[in-house]
Structures are given as structure tokens and as C-alpha cells.
Amino acid sequence: MKMFTMVLAVLGLVAMNMTGCGEKGSPLESAAPKKSPQMIALPGPVALNKIIPVSRLIKADSGGTVTLSYDNGQVQKHFTIDASLVFAPHAVDRDVVVTMSLDDSLLVLNFNPAMAFNIPAELQVKASGLSLSATAASAGYKLFWYDPLTSTWVEMPAQSITVAPAAGSLECINGRIPHFSQYGFGRIFDIIIDSLHILPPAAHH
């Protein structure tokens, strides 16, 4: 009887050690806070002026610049944006027509065709008329690209991103664009619920 009791005690200790030291933690341990961005929304109802994509031929030997300027034409919720994507010489292997468009609901730029670059392109953006959080510092706003494989926004580096909440303005200098996707601006906040995701902008055809 004593031997049986000792065996039960040993088995209990082994089970406790396996639970505490296993590679897989408990559900509470796996639900560690993650960082996810709240993307900046464009102001107002449907814009009076249609958002028109712009295209430009980028040459392999000399590079080039794609520029988009947009004004929504509204009075009360006036929004403007000037964006340019600069390619250095030899950033692409062949001459290619690059298209840039603005999402109709988020401060997100769409780039086509799908491709990666030998040298990252540099994104310059100036936007005004945005609804920005007055409590968020400039350091809280980042450049992100949307990864369709994981359905998440991934932070990308930029030389500087400056916001003025009172004026509703944002300026990005030399945002790093190593490949084409959707790139946008948002503010980071922490979430605990593992299944919470920020929805991507609607696809445009």
C-alpha cells in the first residue's frame, strides 16, 4: 500500500513538471499582448472628386518618380494629399510601368504591379485634413505594409513621420518601400485578444 502511494506521488510530480516546463504554455500564457495598428481613416463621406490612379514608366538605368496629388473638393472636411515614390537608378531590373492609387477610406496607398526591388524606393507623403488622436505623440504613428499571407499590418521604417493633430496633418519623409503591396499609416496600440485583426482596405479593380 505504501509503495502504491509513493508511485502515485511520483506520477503526480512528473505531471506537474510536464505542465509547468512544457514548450506549450497555458492559454493565458499564449495570449500575450500584441501590437496592432489602427489605420488612419480619411475624413468625411464619399469624396466629391474621384480618386484617380496615376502611372509612370520607371526605367531600370535611371529610375524615376511616381507622383499622386489629390483634393477631395469638400469644404467642411477638406482633405488633401501629395505622395511621391522615388526610385533610384537600377532599383528595378527592367523598365516597368508603376501605378499608385489612394484607398477610398483609409490613408493607404496601393502600388502595382507586384514586384520587389534591388534598392528600396522612398515614399514621401504630405496629407492634411485628417482626424488624428490628440493624445497620440508623433512617435505613435508609423508606416505599415499589409501582408496578405498573415492578414496583418507590418511596420516599416521611415526617416521621419511627423503629425500635428490640431491641424490634422501628417508628413512622411523617406518611407522604405522594398516591394509593392498596400502601404499606409496608423497608430500602434496593444491588444490582448489573439484573434483580433484589423481588416484590410477593400480591393479596387
pLDDT value at residue 200: 53
Buried b (16+ CB within 10 A) or exposed e, 92-109: beeeeebebbbbeebbbb
CA distance 137 to 165: 9
Burial (CB < 10 A; 0-12, 13-18, 19+), residue 193, is exposed
pLDDT value at residue 192: 40
* Mean pLDDT value of segment 128-155: 84
pLDDT value at residue 36: 77
Q: Domain ranges in the chain?
A: 34-191
pTM score > 0.75 for this model?
no
- Write out the three cell numbers for 71: 483634393
> Which range scores top for mean pLDDT: 26-40, 81-95, 123-137, 140-154?
81-95
pLDDT value at residue 49: 63
> What is the fold, at CATH topology level, of the domain defined by 34-191?
Chondroitinase Ac; Chain A, domain 3 (2.60.220)
* Mean pLDDT value of segment 91-118: 95
